[in-house]
């Protein structure tokens, strides 16, 4: 059995000794932890200084880049605003022309109403009424031909007038019908200009603008796996290459050199691509600038469409030439879609709008002379 100490004073003295040893160890540990603290603070300060300098440098670089981008964007915006003003001026001119046409149409309607009232009041006979109707139709067709270039409408009006006179079967109308026939042949001999078809081609090109590839959108090619000499020989149907063990040292070195040089050449060919570009700035367009280039091309084509409908030959040619220049400068002309758009614009440019419209003066004079004699 273990014996307990008889002296009760021995236990307190041992506890006091343990309490003295514990504070000494704790103080030594704190001193050991505080020694590397200044060094760590210094290192952190240096790192913070380096990070601050690097951040300032990056911020300055970003500011310069943003300033350049904003300048380019402002230039494109100014050009777009100028084109918008030009389109607005053209639209105002068209509105003026439309107003003139409406006034002429209102005058024609007023004249027609006055003639109808006059026919009812005077109770003219059938032949005189037919001549008056033919004169009114020819007058309206002549106005449409001179103002809007509506050749088909004028031709239909002449044919209806000739048919109306043919139903009367009067020999005295032969001179009038002869004049109307001459005007019909003159209109049929005119070169036909399909304005609706040309406008439809322009609309198709405008719809393709958003899908046309630009030079700035081109991506690098994916690497191609090198073709081994042995695979090429097997693909050509030749005999299989001999095993490396059956070749001599010199032949193996030559074959190894050929394989290595071929692999290196294939890799270099994928890394380096040479292409001739006449406008290097077209490769540096940002997405925002690319958007404005496409919108600028659309505005040019829309302006050409308005010039086509108003038969403005000079503006029509100028806008189409500007659209072709934009396609050549900023878009990839090797792509099939771009080539199709260029072909469509060339077909549109082949149409001649500068055609002098004939008048129906001969038919109108024949009708009026007959009425004056009667």
pLDDT digits (tens, 9 = 90+) for 222-234: 444 444 444 444 4
Cα 261 to Cα 254: distance, rounded to the nearest angstrom: 10
Contact 311, 353 (CB under 8 A): yes
Write the pLDDT tens digit of every residue in 306-361: 888 777 778 888 999 999 999 988 888 888 988 999 998 888 888 776 666 677 77
Calculate what percentage of the chain has a pLDDT beyond 90: 6
Contact 175, 370 (CB under 8 A): yes
pTM strictly above 0.85: no
Q: In this predicted structure, what is the pLDDT of residue 229?
A: 45
Asked whether residue 239 carries a pLDDT value surpassing 50, the answer given is no
Contact 158, 361 (CB under 8 A): no
Asked whether residue 139 carries a pLDDT value surpassing 90, the answer given is no
What is each CA distance from 281 to 72, 74, 159, 300, in whole angstroms? 11, 16, 59, 21
């Amino acid at each position: 059995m273990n014996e307990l100490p008889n002296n009760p004073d021995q236990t307190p003295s041992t506890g006091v000794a343990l309490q003295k040893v514990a504070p000494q160890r704790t103080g030594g540990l704190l001193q050991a932890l505080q020694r590397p603290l200044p060094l760590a603070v210094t290192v952190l300060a240096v790192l913070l200084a380096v990070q601050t300098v690097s951040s300032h440098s990056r911020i300055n670089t970003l500011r310069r880049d943003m300033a350049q981008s904003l300048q380019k964007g402002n230039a494109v915006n100014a050009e777009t605003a100028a084109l918008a003003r030009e389109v607005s001026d053209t639209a105002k001119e068209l509105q003026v022309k439309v107003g003139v046409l409406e006034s002429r149409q209102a005058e024609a309607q007023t004249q027609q109403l006055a003639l109808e009232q006059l026919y009812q009041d005077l109770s003219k006979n059938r032949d005189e009424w037919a001549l008056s109707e033919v004169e009114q139709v020819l007058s309206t067709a002549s106005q449409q031909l001179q103002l809007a270039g509506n050749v088909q409408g004028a031709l239909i009006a002449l044919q209806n007038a000739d048919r109306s006179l043919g139903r009367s079967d009067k020999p005295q109308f032969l001179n009038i019908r002869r004049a109307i026939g001459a005007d019909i042949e003159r209109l049929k001999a005119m070169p036909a200009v399909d304005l609706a078809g040309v406008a439809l081609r322009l609309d198709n090109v405008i719809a393709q603008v958003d899908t046309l590839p630009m030079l700035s959108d081109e991506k690098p090619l994916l690497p191609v796996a090198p073709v081994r000499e042995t695979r090429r020989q097997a693909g050509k149907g030749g005999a299989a290459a001999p095993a490396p063990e059956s070749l001599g040292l010199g032949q193996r070195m030559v074959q190894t050199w050929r394989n290595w040089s071929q692999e290196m050449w294939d890799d270099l060919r994928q890394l380096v691509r040479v292409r001739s570009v006449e406008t290097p700035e077209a490769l540096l367009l940002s997405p925002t600038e690319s958007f404005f280039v496409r919108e600028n091309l659309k505005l040019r084509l829309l302006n050409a469409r308005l010039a086509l409908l108003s038969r403005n030959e000079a503006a029509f040619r100028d806008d189409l030439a500007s659209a072709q220049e934009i396609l050549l400068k900023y878009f990839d002309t090797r792509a099939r879609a771009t080539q199709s758009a260029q072909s469509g614009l060339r077909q549109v440019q082949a149409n001649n709008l500068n055609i002098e419209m004939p008048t129906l003066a001969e038919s109108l004079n024949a009708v009026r002379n007959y009425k004056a004699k009667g």
